[in-house]
Chains A and B, each alone.
Chain A
Amino acid sequence: MSHLPSHLHPETAFSTHYVPAGDYFLGEIKQGQTFRIVDLKGNQAADVLFYNAKDPSERYSAMDTIRNQGNLYLSAGTKLMSNANRELLEIVADTCGRHDTLGGACATESNTVRYSLEKRCMHACRDSWMLAIAEHPEFGISKRDITHNINFFMNVPVTADGGLTFEDGISAPGKYVELKAKMDIVMLISNCPQLNNPCNGYNPTPIEVIVWN
C-alpha cells in the first residue's frame, strides 16, 4: 500500500465543495482538471460514479479497470477505465493507500437483506443518487446508469479462499485521493450515511471536493 502526496495547494483551487454526510455531489470536471476528495474527519466512505460528460452510457467500469491493471484495489497510478475500455481518469495522488472496487453502495433495499426488513427507511447511498439524478435531469443520468461504484477510503480485502472482509478503516482525518480527468467527465458522489456497519466508523462525517484547473 503506497502513499503519494499531492503538490497542489487548496489556496489555488478553482472551486471547493463541502458535502455533508447523507448528501450528494453531482458536477462536471473538465479534461485536464485535477480534483481532490478529502476525508475531513477520517474513516468516511465516499461512494463515487464517473461518466463521460458527452454520453453517460460510457461510464467508469469496475470490470475494465480491474482487468486492465490486473489488481482489485485502487491507489496512486491507477487508471480508471470506462466500459468502452478508454481511460476516464488517473489517480495522481493518494494519502490513504487503498480504495475499494467490490463493495458497492448501500441501498434501502440491500439494507433489508443485510440487517433487517424493518430498516428499509434508513437513508442510504442509492437514495442520494436517486435524488441527484431526479434534481438534475440535465446530466441525462437514469437508474440504468447507477451501478458498480468506487468506495474511496474503504478497505475491503479479499481472502485467499475467496472471502470478503470489512477491515477497520485505513483512512484518517485529512486523508485524500486526487484524480486527473482524461476527458470531460461527470462525477456523482454519495457521502455515505450508513450506520449499520463500521464503514463510516458508525459516525458519518463531511467530505470536501477541491478542484484545480
Chain B
Amino acid sequence: MSKMLYTTTLPGNGHWSLELRRGSLMKITDIEGGANVGMLFYNPRNLLERYNAPDTLKCQHTFKLQRGNCLYSDMGRIFASIVEDYSANGEGNWHDTICGNSTAELVEQQWGKRDYQTHRNQWKQNGYDAFLVELAKYGLGRADMASNINWFSKVIADDHGNIKLDTKNQCAGNSVTLRFEMDTLVIMHACPHPLNKSEAYPFTSVEIELGEADPVSDDDYCKNFREENQRGFQNNKLYYLSNK
C-alpha cells in the first residue's frame, strides 16, 4: 500500500522547492476551492534536463492534463505520472499547460502592489517572481523558466483559438496525485493564475502530502494510457539500469 508520510499547507501566495526521489508520491489538494499551483521540474543531476510542455502535449496528443498523462522532460524521460485526479463536484479536473504565470504587473493592475511593509506575509506575491526566487537557489534564472503547469486551472479554447479561464470545475476537495518516475527537483508556487480576475487577491491555499508509492506494475494505468508512455517508461528504465 502506498503511504503518506508528511502533510503541509502551501499558502495561496506561497512557493517552495524540493527534491523528490523516484517512487515518491505528491498529492496536492485544493482545500478551499479556486487554488492554482504553478509547477516546473528539473533533473537534479543535470539541471539542463527540464520539464518540456510541447513534448508532453504532442507525445500524448493532448492540450489538457488529466489522470493517465505523464509529464515529460526534454530528454524523452518521465518526471512524474498523474496517478490520481479527483474532481469533488464531478465537473472533472483539467490542468493548464500554456498560460504561464501571473507577473508583478498583472497582480498590481488587478489587486494592488506587493507590499511587505504593509501586509507582511499576506503580501500579494506573483507566480513569476515566486519562480525566480526558487530557481535562483539552484543557480537558475529566467532563461530556465520553461512553460509551466498550472494545476486546477481550466483554460479552454474555442474554434478560433480564443482562450479563457473556466472556473466551473473549481471545488474544495479537488486533488491531483503525482508519482515520480525519476529523481526530480520540483519548483512550485500557489500564486494566482494569470487569467484570474477575482475581486480580491485569491489567498487560496493547498494541502501537500508526500509519501511513497507502490512499485509500478506492468498493467499500470499511466504506463499503458498511451503507447508513447510505454516508451517513456522504457527510457526511464534505461536511465536507472542496474541502479540498486
Chain A residues near B (Cβ < 8 Å): 56-59, 61-64, 66-67, 70-73, 83-85, 101-105, 107, 109-114, 116-117, 126, 143-145, 147-149, 157-160, 162-165
Question: Is there contact, CB below 8 Å, between B235 and A158?
Answer: no
Q: How many whole Å from A141's CB to the nearest CB in chain B?
A: 9
Comparing B7-15, B53-61, B113-121, B172-180, the segment that makes contact with chain A is B53-61
- Asked if A67 meets B195 with Cβ closer than 8 Å, knowing A113-B55, A163-B61, A163-B63, the reply is yes
Measured CB to CB, the closest approach of chain B to A3, in angstroms, equals 15
Interchain CB contact under 8 A, B147 and A158 = no
Contacts of B144 in A (CB 8 A): 144
B53 touches A148 (CB 8 A): yes
- B3, CB-defined interface residue at 8 Å: no
Q: Report if A107-B100 is in contact (Cβ < 8 Å); known contacts: A113-B55, A117-B234.
A: no
- Given the known inter-chain contacts A66-B163, A113-B235, A147-B146, please indicate yes or no for A160 contacting B156, CB distance below 8 A: yes
Instruction: Encode contact with A along B62-93: 1 for CB under 8 Å, 0 otherwise.
Output: 11100000001011110000000000000000
Residues of B within 8 A of A157 (CB): 161
Inter-chain CA distance A147–B228, complex, in Å, is 21
Distance A85 CA – B98 CA, assembled complex (angstroms): 15
Q: Say yes or no: A57 contacts B142, CB within 8 Å.
A: yes
Instruction: State whether A85 and B105 are in contact (beta carbons under 8 Å apart), knowing that A67-B100, A112-B231, A148-B146 are contacts in the complex.
Output: yes
**Taking A85-B103, A109-B74, A164-B57 as contacts, is the C-beta distance between A71 and B162 under 8 angstroms?**
yes
Q: Is B194 an interface residue (CB 8 A)?
A: yes
Give the distance in Å from the alpha carbon of A145 to the alpha carbon of B62 in the complex.
25
Q: Residue B34 at the A interface, CB < 8 A?
A: no
Identify which of A58, A71, A126 contacts B160 (C-beta below 8 A): A71
Of B99, B232, B235, the residue contacting A66 (CB under 8 A) is B99
**Is A56 within 8 A of B161, CB to CB?**
no
Q: Contacting B142 at CB < 8 Å: which of A83, A111, A143? A: A83
Would you give the 0/1 interface string for B105-125, flagging 1 where the beta carbon is closer than 8 Å to chain A?
Answer: 100000000000000000000
* CB <8 Å contact, A64 and B55: no
| A102/B98 in contact, CB under 8 A | yes
> 1/0 per position for B222-244, CB-CB distance to A under 8 A?
00000011011011000000000
Residues of B within 8 A of A58 (CB): 142
Which A residue sits closest to B144, measured CB to CB? Answer: A144
B106 shortest CB reach to chain A, Å: 9
Q: How far is the CB of A111 from chain B (nearest CB, A)?
A: 8
Contacts of B133 in A (CB 8 A): none
25 inter-chain pairs at a CB distance below 8 angstroms, sorted by A residue, are: A63-B101, A64-B100, A66-B98, A67-B100, A71-B160, A71-B163, A83-B142, A102-B63, A104-B52, A105-B54, A110-B52, A113-B231, A114-B58, A114-B228, A117-B234, A147-B147, A148-B53, A157-B161, A158-B161, A159-B63, A162-B94, A163-B62, A163-B63, A164-B58, A164-B63
Q: A72-B98, A113-B59, A160-B156 are in contact. Are A144 and B64 (CB under 8 A)?
A: no
Q: A165–B61 contact, CB under 8 A?
A: yes
- Residues on the B chain within 8 Å of A160, using CB: 156, 158-159
Identify which of A66, A103, A109 contacts B54 (C-beta below 8 A). Answer: A103
Residues of B within 8 A of A71 (CB): 160-163
A109 near B76: Cβ-Cβ < 8 Å: yes
What distance in Å separates the Cβ of A197 from its nearest Cβ neighbour in chain B? 9
Closest to A101 in B: B98
A124 to chain B, nearest CB (A): 11
